[in-house]
Structure 1
């Protein structure tokens, strides 16, 4: 008997019934169809006088379940207790099971009396799609008992799996104490199966069943009735629990838990490449100890984070989003990208290469190069790097600068601990570091400067550090480190614990930024970038409108909505948002574009609230424009 359960929905049951009948007809299997009761479920009956192999029927049931969502496999996979109400039997919610096809009892009885050869079930299975047949095979052959881990023992009057009892997972607790859902029986089965895998006993489950907060065990505590759910008696509950627990233990013994693979057994190529780049960058602290070094380091870190999010070492990123991620200006990020793409006798080999220049609205495309430790000829010869046209040093820099004080660096580079981390761990690490680097406290004008940030980042999280340790980790000279420490201690970010030893200070970054009055610097910069984008998009849209034919027949100005009528929050064209692009009036008519007036109109759509803590995250931006404000990795796209 094929049971199509109404819990999947009447439309799903109707579609599944039609498809099941087509499959049975193609296999020349005779059958009858009955409506199980007033709810709308259907039963499809087919008789096989010679009997059916339970394993073959189980395989067929699981294969059909992948095609028919409403099919309940319980009666087909339970040869000892599987049963159903025949046509004409009363239903617990009222009414009775009625014949649908054929409608008369004599024809239905003749079909069942004649029956079908058992070989036609194999024809039915062979006619199923390949994916369905494979699912049925996996459901059967994947249930092999593993004696070393799934031996069944008797505890009291009920079975259990041998082994040490484990606590249930958070997901199991959510099932137990959360709402049972539409199918309370399926929720109870899932809970019992998890308890069986955790080596629980029936006594443990009885204690859980007595908990009034265990809403997931609703099927154990009550049953469906015409007027709602009716509480079960103690005898009914105990009988149901004992029967279902025995089934759960048997099923758990035949279904070994999947072995959890180590997270790094099959490393992600992109994650491995990014980890190698980050490890090489942390092993060369002197490279970032120059005046432009902090900008270069954060630019490289941000590009690594974007590459992790895109799962590609080649990504497209514009300088404004680069700026929002790092806390530096867009011009600084553009110069940092050019420096990172240069092979220089002071800075060492290039870290990135520009594979496609920016054009129009499309950002430049950058590729992260395999790391090469500067000064290591063996490493330089062993790494193959793609050929690229390096930017000349004269173009990459606007002024000269002194090399970093390498003589202060220890012979042993600091251990970064980046290699071997998973993609999520590396993403969390880079996100945290970039969030700290982009804080307003490090603003050059009025803040402490980004060089102080490198010293603070090296000292943060340690109970006590010395100037020698900080010098080795940052590449700065001890004199520079002492100057940074005095500044950080004066503003409460670090504190001297002992002579020449420093630890965390009493103030947070937000508190120190508020004292200096630099709160909102990053938010104002981000707002200006949003306005720049909107102005550019508005002007491009204006040009397209002016050069397109039939423009006077289209309505492109802002629509007025009657009072009380809400506008659908759909991202519309800039000209429909701001109107026609303003122009300066002249004696001969409209003159040149008035960008000052256009910027003023755009600013009205983006109110500035620099004192609000949400401004820095861009949460104040109106909904249609919020996607431009949030400078997070998902906004970048792989090239």
Structure 2
């Protein structure tokens, strides 16, 4: 056993367990203590799912994840013990495993990580320093690990084999979120009679009608909101559906971790949760607008290389924060690399089309800033342009192999042998979630140049719900200490940082929208996205004009949906064709007038006028 040591005043402060205590002793230590997960040979005898909950919002997610995990374990007939890990929240689910090899535990951790957002997956496969407080062990903040379900004595007689864990891995992989939400099947029976009051995509209608939210009510409810955001629903539409739609059960009731049953939410709590999740769904729908089409993975070697690249990229951000955060250009470079890695991982192709405006919208940056960043990344060898832009087709970029794992390096066997397909897709799902979270964190009005700026965003990301001193925040952010102090006090002025005993943490609720309104910058990114969309449309119109002048047939555009009694056409095509580009009397293009037509949304009206004439 590993035991904490109290300081001179009798209070335990350091989160370390330096003292060893004999396991054969009939007495238990008075301070917090842990037991190892593995033996001297690195084989696991305990498997522990650590569901973290440091905030009220996190506790509810952990409770939902606990329900998904317990249902899965019971369906596979695997004995387990559930404990409330600490008085502040969180749960431990123990499995008594029979000397299982690390390779199996690594795959189990990847499969569970893709399904359970609150899981600290590292504990499942840590064969070096992995240790956990067992049932009954005290916590440094008071209280002790309390058994909620199962027999703690059963942990002394391991019965779960590697074959049992393989079945558990397969069951978790069945619940894994798909890369494209449109291909995510419902996790339960679907009501044949439920109809949404507004139109939804077919995949969204299925989730909206899933009885009781299915096997994962939290995930099903979020997919319902995502489908509504894609379909252009308003906040009032979502609130109306949340009252009766079977798939929106998560926003009406919550899971009680003690009884395992769902209980009604308080109206204020239900409204607050729906608001938070709706904002998240709208942001994610905006990101997926720029997502490349997913493709069938015929050769998993390329996907394995992309996953290695993404893992290496995130590892570089963690171990070398100064390289990617000390200066403002470095911050921009990190965001652009994150967007390029997300595009590659999302499409399953190493080479992906990445226009300046697409990357800018995904990362919440200006297109000119993206252009400068891409040039720096190419010069430094981190990004490679494999094809230049041509007409309306964007340039093709790839993140180079500088972040990928060297296949010849020394290290554990599971890192150098080929990963099975299931493990690859588990890792892909978890990496996509992490990259999207990074993109979402920076894509906010309050961190634009007109407000707090990108350096403040990096400091805000380094803050967490656990209070840290400014030295620790400076190390995590990769920014000089004095600069961090100035930024933190600026964040405090707009309620984005809270002081606690000479340390700093994030506020309990996300107040970035409030801060943006106070600073008068709310709506900047929305207006920028609208301008980028207009610029794309004018550019496509201009390219079509050049094709016509060269004697080639122009490309069709997507016109507004309208009912036609009969269809007019001319030499350029039907109503879906581009109108003639405005020109001066001398034949040169009138880009100013074209821009006015585009921004006013009059292209279809201009085309209809041409046909009528």
* Greater gyration radius: 1
Asked if TM exceeds 0.5, the reply is: no
Please tell me the TM-score bracket, short chain as reference.
Answer: 0.3 to 0.5
TM-score by length of 2: 0.43
TM-score by length of 1: 0.41
